[in-house]
Amino acid sequence: MKVTEIVAGFAKPIVEAHGCSLWDVEYVREGSEWFLRLYIDKDSGVDITDCEAISRAVDPILDEKDPIAESYHFEVCSAGLERALKRPEDFARFMDSPITVKLYRPRNGLKEIPGILRGYEDGRVTVEAGKETITFEKSEVARVRLRVEF
């Protein structure tokens, strides 16, 4: 089982007890440092108080369960307005929302395609981009993020 799955398993009930939802767990290397991040969400918006309270509640359990052998930095963050969509339920929740699809290889000279999310099935993402509808295969898509329009 991956570190992120283990941490999500014990962090989710704690996050929910604080009135938030667990959006994602990330364990990444940045330079020479490792970071374990919990991304949280709340309908009324996440603030620093939410992040701090959840960090204080999860930190001792991380110490107790010790799922990571090497040293790392632990952070609790808001999922953000331009959050990545990863799970089928993320795509369902934000159907008809503005997104940006980042591709592994350019398509028509572009690696990032802005559009409106119109469909998601088995990893295929369908976007309305201008006057055309484009479906991207799972193998083409590096990342899908919500896009904030002002």
* CATH number for position 117: 2.30.30.100
**Together in a domain, 110 and 135:** yes
**Together in a domain, 92 and 58:** no
Q: Measured in whole angstroms, how far is the alpha carbon of residue 57 from the centre of its chain?
A: 21
Domain count, the chain: 2
In a domain, 17, yes or no: yes
In a domain, 50, yes or no: yes
- Give yes or no for residue 149 having a pLDDT over 90: no
Supply the range of the domain harboring residue 92. Answer: 88-146
- Sheet containing 33-41: order of strands: 21-30, 33-41, 73-78
In a domain, 83, yes or no: no
Residue 68 is given by DSSP the state: -
**Together in a domain, 61 and 104:** no
Confidence of residue 69 (pLDDT cuts 50, 70, 90): confident
pLDDT tens, position by position, 13-61:
999 999 999 999 999 999 999 999 999 999 899 999 999 999 999 999 9
